Structure 1
Amino acid sequence: MQEYSMLTERFRRYGDRPALVWRDRAYSYAWLNAQIEAMRERLQAEGIERAVVSLETEYSPYAAAAIFALLGQSCVVLPIDGSLVAAKIEEYLDIGEAQARVGADEAGLSIRWRDGKEGKEGTEAMEVRHPLLRGLLLQRVPGLVLFSSGSTGRSKAAVHRADRLLAKFRAVGRAAKTIPFMMFDHIGGMNTLLTTLANGGCLHVLKDRSPAEVCRTIERYGIEALPVSPTFMNLLLLSGAHRTYDIGSLKVVSYGSEVMPPQTLAAWNAAFPDIRTVQAYGMSELGVLKTKSKSSDSLLFSLQGDGAAYRIVDGLLEIKAESAMIGYLNAPDPFTEDGWLRTGDEAVAEDGYIRILGRRSEIINVGGEKVYPAEVESVLQELAGIEEVVVSAETSGITGQMVMATVKLREDMEPSLGELRRRIWTFCRDKLPAHKIPQKIVITRESLTSSRLKKIRKPQVQEGKPNING
């Protein structure tokens, strides 16, 4: 594959420049290139070529090398975070029709054929049936299968041609010290890995994704770029970790994966006026597109290059891009007849820019009036004592739906449910129309943030730790 050779040739030229820092040890591009070749030799010896293979591991230099080695063997790769529960991993393996399972760590590659057979016999025994996967293997085109988080049901599997994702990096950009905040099985994490390494930057892998660890890493290594979610930005501000560590090296923060509450963006820019804040836009189905925010304090952005175009049809954003997936393995085709991807995001166009309002599936319909959860959450986050809040729909016999707010309070706050309801009504009545003010309040002791540092739109209650409803 031409794009694969392009990147490995760059790695060779980058030589002793650090490519990744993991567990406070630097790994050079020369090491990365050598590791890729060693892993390819091992894969060839095991008969793994033109196969559907899972890569189940934690984020590390070995994982990065394994991704490139598998693509170099014309494999279709299912990147899977090794910390997932076994049942979820098995679900992904079944949907993706994985023939072999690969792990990568300091000991090298671990390889298991799913049917117990090895080499060519293993490939033939685990026959790939889905036409999208078969097409990639027959054409010797490497691929990536990226799974949605599946928080509302069975995960959707988006199939990408790896050559189209890698083609975005033909032009060399600016090298930067970057924290890969999203995991490599997430489109944002994969994009950060590819962008940083293609441009000769350095990935600084976190020990954990707490605000304190992120700020410690920024201070210690002079991190310049940080791609995160709005939820994490809010958590960092609440933690105060930025006042303990010197994060002055940070030049740009890009945010995506969920709607940014205006109050969070305003608070962030007030705290960090010298950091450029950029809204990213990407989906498992699209890849991550190049964008330009109107300004650091604006929720408006435009698409920049990559052959991407957009249109808004009946209030929904549709995008056409060369990096788009070729289809789902287990869900209806989301493309229009003329090739535009229906994103599911409600959006408006303003002076040539786009503004995302929210996922259509999450919009609350109160007696025919639309309520966007992010709008209400943004107001509630200003109320003293609220640590996290998620707004969702609750059935109403009068208006069809009503607004429900699930709230996690600070540890030092323990108001009664009635008192909290009165505080929320008093606080919101001059900031929101009456139909947008939450009619049902749930107090929870559980976190409302997922492992991907996004809001959990359908919070689950753990047994023995009940919510308080009202």
Structure 2
Amino acid sequence: MTPLAQQIAQQQADAVVLGPHGRSLMRGDLQAVGVAPHIGPDTRIAIRLSDPLDVIRALTALDGQVAAILLLSHALPPKTAVALARAADCTILVQDDVAETRDGVAVMMIDDMLGSERRSEPLATAWLMTTSGTTGLPKIVPHTLRTLSRSVSRFAGATAPIWGLLYDPTRFAGLQVVLQALIGGGQLIAVDTAKTLADQVSMMAENGCTHLSATPTLWRRLLMVPDYAKLPLRQITLGGEIADQPTLNALRAGFPDARLSHIYASTEVGVGFSVTDGLAGLPSSYLDKAPGNVRLDIRSGILWLRPPLTALQPGLPGIEIDNEGYICSGDQVEVSNDRILFLGRASGLMNIGGVKVYPEAVEAVVKTVPGVALVQVSAKRSPVTGALVLAEIQLDAGADQTETRLLIIKTCRASLEREAVPAIIRFVDGFKTNAAGKLMRTKG
């Protein structure tokens, strides 16, 4: 596989990355970057950097030069980062500050790792990603640049896209955007995610962002920004969460000229498939033949996928993969007419009065109610029934709480089982999202 630096060098764009605070990375900058002399071919390096431009510099320098790169979110606690580095046999952790040794891992800043050394015979560098674990350490998932970039589309000239980056580039979704821009022939706008979403939208609009990928949660938040229509989008991509019909409809109305697609991808599977017909779920015909040579199977209501290319092997801890290469997604689905519909994560199922309820199924109904901007459903403990359904709601500007509450109850009663109707409706100012742009699910 051609190293990342060489693939970037083959592109036409001069200004490859536009970053916050007026910073940018030119193609020549990335071509010239290498590693310091003390970084040997057997070195395994973890990177935990907050600036997306530094992440890109590090990846470009290290691919083909070291044995392995472990990508860690800067949002991870320092102790967790060191523990993951040790679990991946990394001897070096590159982060924003502190030069010391922790539990046998040398911690250094990026300029201590970078240099001008580049090997004449590039190495087959392993790219190690982490999942967003809920208990214990996140899982470490092996990849290669080839498995990570197999879905990259190549562009040139006037058709070259300008991608906006709203994700953490060390997460799978963020890295996909980075690779699409760097080796797909386009440019990247890396916004300052510490700023307001309105400021992020403004920066992307001013720099001509044409392609944007975000979770459904982020898209619904973006549609609340007054100037969102200034984005000259040609491509809208949803991923990371269930793409529900109300969100798809809202995006189609907000950006009528943009191509709309939702993709199924995960750290374990990689990019699975995309759906471009504007409907929630996916065609049941994908069970016979899915795009991208991905094979699908439904076992006991759970979706399994076999990607055409993977670095996973059976026996990896925390990852269920069979001898044929099918990987368990953990996503519960049902086939209805000619569609496969996502119900929610099997691990997130709520038991309400003996009835199984998926939070995502309730949220999909609540989102159809006018005035609802965002919703999060969870189970709240009850001494009588064991648990009750709690719906936390962020309203659109100007929506009335009393009227919206009544309409939510009426709509849910007409569409859901009695136990799934929210017993508690709580209005909130907003929600937190994690480094992958997903709604941070909390217990009520």
Offset at 1:62? 3.3
1:296 maps onto 2:278 in alignment: yes
Q: Which of residues 10, 15, 23 is equivalent to 2:7?
A: 10
Q: Which residue of 2 aligns with 1:360?
A: 346
Q: Which of residues 76, 88, 91 is equivalent to 1:96?
A: 88
Q: Which residue of 1 aligns with 2:391?
A: 405
Q: Which residue of 1 aligns with 2:111?
A: none
Q: SS at 2:2's partner residue?
A: helix
1:66 maps onto 2:63 in alignment: no
- 2: CA distance, partners of 1:383 / 1:73: 53
Offset at 1:330? 8.1
- 2: CA distance, partners of 1:456 / 1:270: 27
Give yes or no for contact 1:252–1:276 (8 Å, CA) kept in 2. yes
Q: SS at 1:160's partner residue?
A: strand
Kindly report the root-mean-square deviation, in angstroms, between the aligned alpha carbons of the 2 structures. Answer: 3.5
- 2: CA distance, partners of 1:114 / 1:367: 49
Which residue identity is paired with 1:161? H
Q: Which residue of 1 aligns with 2:116?
A: none
Offset at 1:228? 0.3
Q: Which residue of 2 aligns with 1:194?
A: 179
- 2: CA distance, partners of 1:352 / 1:427: 25
Distance of aligned partners of 1:62 and 1:328 in 2 relative to their CA distance in 1, 3 Å threshold: farther
- 2: CA distance, partners of 1:422 / 1:361: 31
Offset at 1:188? 0.8
1:161 maps onto 2:161 in alignment: no
Q: SS at 2:205's partner residue?
A: helix
Q: Which runs of structure 2 are paired with 1:250-399 in the superposition (5 Å)?
A: 250-293=233-276, 295-300=277-282, 302=286, 305-326=291-312, 331-349=317-335, 354-366=340-352, 369-383=355-369, 386-394=372-380
Q: Which runs of structure 2 are paired with 1:442-457 in the superposition (5 Å)?
A: 442=426, 447-457=431-441
- 1: CA distance, partners of 2:253 / 2:191: 26
- 1: CA distance, partners of 2:148 / 2:69: 14
Offset at 1:163? 4.4
- 2: CA distance, partners of 1:422 / 1:74: 60
Q: SS at 2:278's partner residue?
A: coil
Which residue identity is paired with 2:209? I
Which residue identity is paired with 1:78? L
Which residue identity is paired with 1:20? V
Give yes or no for contact 2:240–2:438 (8 Å, CA) kept in 1. yes
Q: Which residue of 2 aligns with 1:428?
A: 412
- 2: CA distance, partners of 1:16 / 1:423: 51
Q: Which residue of 2 aligns with 1:183?
A: 168
Q: SS at 1:81's partner residue?
A: coil
State which drifts further: 230-239 or 203-212: 203-212
Q: SS at 2:322's partner residue?
A: coil
Distance of aligned partners of 1:34 and 1:337 in 2 relative to their CA distance in 1, 3 Å threshold: same
Q: SS at 1:101's partner residue?
A: strand
- 1: CA distance, partners of 2:143 / 2:101: 24
Q: SS at 2:141's partner residue?
A: strand
Q: Which residue of 2 aligns with 1:137?
A: none
1:217 maps onto 2:209 in alignment: no
- 2: CA distance, partners of 1:369 / 1:116: 50
- 2: CA distance, partners of 1:349 / 1:173: 36
Q: Which of residues 40, 44, 51 is equivalent to 1:48?
A: 40
Q: SS at 2:169's partner residue?
A: coil
Offset at 1:396? 6.0
- 2: CA distance, partners of 1:410 / 1:274: 24
1:235 maps onto 2:218 in alignment: no
Distance of aligned partners of 1:428 and 1:88 in 2 relative to their CA distance in 1, 3 Å threshold: same
Give yes or no for contact 1:95–1:329 (8 Å, CA) kept in 2. no
Scaled by the length of structure 2, what TM-score is found?
A: 0.81
Give yes or no for contact 1:187–1:288 (8 Å, CA) kept in 2. no
Q: Which residue of 2 aligns with 1:132?
A: none
Give yes or no for contact 1:393–1:401 (8 Å, CA) kept in 2. yes
Which residue identity is paired with 1:3? T
- 1: CA distance, partners of 2:339 / 2:392: 32
Offset at 1:296? 2.5
Offset at 1:353? 5.9
Give yes or no for contact 1:66–1:104 (8 Å, CA) kept in 2. no
Distance of aligned partners of 1:329 and 1:182 in 2 relative to their CA distance in 1, 3 Å threshold: farther
Offset at 1:452? 3.3
Q: Which of residues 131, 136, 159 is equivalent to 1:148?
A: 131
Q: SS at 2:233's partner residue?
A: coil
Give yes or no for contact 2:82–2:105 (8 Å, CA) kept in 1. no
- 2: CA distance, partners of 1:253 / 1:377: 22
Distance of aligned partners of 1:398 and 1:141 in 2 relative to their CA distance in 1, 3 Å threshold: farther
Which residue identity is paired with 1:286? V
- 1: CA distance, partners of 2:419 / 2:104: 59
Instruction: Please list the CA deviations of residues 21-46 of structure 1 after superposition, one character each: whole Å capped at 9, or x if unmatched.
Output: 113344222221112xxx22x1xx11
- 1: CA distance, partners of 2:313 / 2:164: 30
Offset at 1:51? 2.3
Offset at 1:273? 1.7
Instruction: Please list the CA deviations of residues 411-457 of structure 1 after superposition, one character each: whole Å capped at 9, or x if unmatched.
Output: 988969xx987664345333433222112445556634334332122
Scaled by the length of structure 1, what TM-score is found?
A: 0.77
State which drifts further: 62-71 or 222-231: 62-71
State which drifts further: 296-305 or 70-79: 296-305
Q: SS at 2:305's partner residue?
A: strand
Distance of aligned partners of 1:112 and 1:70 in 2 relative to their CA distance in 1, 3 Å threshold: farther
Offset at 1:254? 0.5
Offset at 1:216? 1.2
- 2: CA distance, partners of 1:357 / 1:369: 15
Give yes or no for contact 2:174–2:436 (8 Å, CA) kept in 1. no
Offset at 1:100? 0.6
- 2: CA distance, partners of 1:297 / 1:203: 28
